Amino acid sequence: MQNKKVRQKPPFFNIIIVTMEVNMKILCIGDVVGKPGRNYLEQNLNRIINEQSIDFIIANGENSAGGVGITKEIYDELISMDIDVITLGNHSWAKKEVFDYINVTDKLIRPANYPENTPGAGYIIVEKKGTKIAVINMCGRVFMECLECPFKTIDYILSDIKDKADITILDFHAEATAEKIAMGWYLDGRISAIFGTHTHVQTSDEIILPNGTGYITDVGMTGPFESVLGMDKNIIIKKFITALPGKFEVAKGNAIFGAIIFDFNTDNNLSAVKRLLYRQS
């Protein structure tokens, strides 16, 4: 009997799973867009936590207030849902009240590569279940406002937190796929995991890189599905057709949930990555 050749998918596109005892499951949620995104979390996050046995949650909240920025009220709302750390991005300062509270919040961070003396912190170390988890926030520079070099900034931070954290995770808020992928290879073996945010479109390239770092280019968004990146689709289509400016508004309707889970074993080494994409019917 002739052996049949089976064509296999490239391993880059497979979920990598190694059977090991899991110590910490970390859920990283993509950009929460406006009220539809917040409502989805309010109605479903507790169920997801229980179904997936989640221990720690990071969520990007830079679009959580009407599509741009975050307010103190919304920060408190998200934290009340058992989210452990909220990251930001290029819209960090869209709501001016953020300057009044960002220095006194204990679970909100902004991109670390803003210039020196910018309010807020660029990273945080949180202890959960006896494990110290460092969460770093960083913005890309390609097709975005020019900030400090994210590669040099991450080098400085990793040197500063050396031996202070058991697990280190980066939210890389960047536009260019190439810049995100370059960061993944640059940090492979030096950091526990990297998840990309900002583009609002989930990629299917989750992987454990050769030296043990978990990676995905973008986890997508948590916001209205019938939209253009969370915004009212008719307004955006009209803008493309006419080339005239228009006021963006968060779309209404059912939501989509984009996230990734990083599973760490009892030695705090990454053992699996699992991408989540849920859509309300």
Q: Tell me the catalytic residues.
A: 91
272, 157, 173, 166: which is closest to 219 by C-alpha? 173
Q: What are phi and psi of 151, to 5 degrees?
A: -70, -45
Query: 186-189, long-range: CB within 8 Å, 24+ apart, which pairs?
Result: 186/151, 186/154, 187/154, 187/213, 188/212, 188/213, 188/215, 189/213
Per-position DSSP letters for 76-128, written without gaps between them? HHHHTTT--EEE--TTTTSSTTHHHHTTT-SSB---TTSPTT-SS-SEEEEEE
- Paired sense of beta strands 56-60 and 85-87, if any: parallel
162, 159, 107, 156: which is closest to 135 by C-alpha? 107
35, 57, 36: which is closest to 46 by C-alpha? 57
Is the CA virtual torsion 69, 223, 59, 140 positive or negative?
negative
Separation between Cα atoms, residue 84 and residue 128, nearest integer Å: 9
Residue 181's Cβ-count burial label (10 Å; 0-12, 13-18, 19+) is middle
Radius of gyration of the chain (CA): 19
- Which letter does DSSP use for residue 53 in this model? T
